[in-house]
Homo-oligomer: A and B are copies of this chain.
Amino acid sequence: MGSFIGHALPGSFFYFMGLWWSTKYILKYDCKKYKRSCYFNSKSSFYRLELLEGIIIISMALIGITAEQFFPGGPYLTLYDYKEGHWKQLKMWHHCTMYFFFGLVGVTNILCHIYRSLPGSLPKLMLSNAFFVEALIFHNHTHGQDMLDIYVHQLLLLVILVTGVLIFIDFMRSNIIFALLHTSFLLFQGSWFWQIGFVLYPLNGGPAWESTDHNNMMFLTICFCWHYAVSLTVIGLNFAFVTWLVKSKLKRFCPTEVELLKNTEQEQESEEEM
């Protein structure tokens, strides 16, 4: 929807999923690393989480679709107004299509949970797919709007495309660094959605930023980079926090193993020193 809430809602969804996935990836990474020392009941619990994840993603998509369709001024599920002979609220249908493809990710998640013979990386492929579809729709979405509006959506398009590519790379060669990188882009996209909301529909009810002032565009360029820096920092802090948590928990439950681990690490280091 062309309103503040219409940008804040997907922004929050992306931010939440970014935080959640980064936490999951870090946990998985840590559990794998300390696997030999202490046995979390990890694999099966991650498995169950996948089901929960699928349900959450589908709910988000449904919330988004419902909001787009039934908010005052929405198309109420009709596509063509036969009386007046024109399409009805196609922008809302654009948004719904995007939500629908994200919903497909959730469906794949659940299918992969039920049929374990399906490859586990399928949801990642669908996710990267959903971003490419989002990018395509956004690319054909800003017709006839003014310069500033187009510019912030172009920047958004850039984030979306890079996210899609990164998830695709992560799908091809699973790797903690790529995983964290693409989650940081999810945070980035989320916070940029909020920024677009603030720029085009200021909360104080005032008018949108001056659209023809080139300085505004120049500021938004660096603002965009700062959003990225913040996203990277948040992911870094999350990594530090979760790893510290896992280590401290490990220390409490199986202290002897941690000792062993430390010794091994020190030995490796001293070997490297030589």
In the complex, A56 has a CB within 8 A of chain B: no
Contact A222 B93 (CB under 8 A): yes
Q: Given that A43-B273, A125-B181 are contacting pairs, would A94 and B218 also be in contact in the complex, using a CB cutoff of 8 Å?
A: yes
Q: List 27 A-B contacts (CB under 8 A).
A: A43-B272, A43-B274, A44-B274, A47-B272, A87-B215, A87-B218, A90-B222, A91-B218, A94-B222, A97-B226, A100-B229, A101-B225, A101-B229, A104-B229, A116-B269, A117-B265, A119-B176, A122-B177, A125-B177, A136-B221, A137-B221, A137-B225, A140-B221, A143-B214, A143-B217, A144-B214, A172-B173
Contacts of A129 in B (CB 8 A): 232
| Residues of A that sit less than 8 Å from B by CB | 43-44, 47, 79, 86-87, 90-91, 93-94, 97, 100-101, 104, 116-117, 119, 121-122, 125, 129, 133, 136-137, 140, 143-144, 158, 172-173, 176-177, 181, 214-219, 221-222, 224-226, 228-229, 232, 265, 269, 272-274
Q: Is the CB–CB distance between A225 and B143 below 8 Å?
A: no
Say which residue of B87, B215, B225 sits within 8 Å of A133 (CB atoms). Answer: B225
* Majority SS at the chain A contact face: helix
* A119, B272: Cβ atoms closer than 8 Å: no
- Apart from A100-B229, A136-B225, A143-B217, what 15 extra A-B contacts exist at CB < 8 Å? A43-B272, A87-B216, A87-B219, A90-B215, A90-B219, A93-B222, A101-B229, A104-B229, A119-B176, A119-B177, A140-B217, A140-B218, A143-B214, A144-B214, A172-B173
